[in-house]
Amino acid sequence: MVNSNANEHNCVIGSVVFNDILNCYIEEYKEYDKKLNKLYHQKITCLATTRKNKLRNSQRIWIKLKEKTCIVDEENYGRESHFEAMICEIEMTKERIKYLENIRLP
């Protein structure tokens, strides 16, 4: 897990309790999401208007894709589908970070 300050948050590393496990995934996701948002704002502020608009549109499309892809389905997969949804969000966010890191600034 990314969160090294587990005691300051809701993450209890090594626990087998559903909420503890889910909270660890949530904390990890928050860290990557924070990194993504910081990187996105750094990139978008340095781009010319045309490239800025393309990146903004790309980001909106990516967010919608993530929301459609990383879903909880308790009815078919039980409570653990919350874990799968969080893992999906974490992995997609990590991939988006890599994508943004590769955008060349003028």
Calpha distance 84→92 (Å, rounded): 12
pLDDT higher than threshold 70 for residue 5 = no
pLDDT score, position 95: 98
Calpha distance 101→50 (Å, rounded): 19
Stated pTM of the model: 0.85
- Longest alpha-carbon distance in the chain: 49
Measured in residues, the chain has a length of 106
Question: Rounded mean pLDDT of 68-79?
Answer: 95
pLDDT higher than threshold 50 for residue 4 = no
Please write down the HEC assignment for all residues of 3-32: CCCHHHCCCCCCCCCHHHHHHHHHHHHHHH
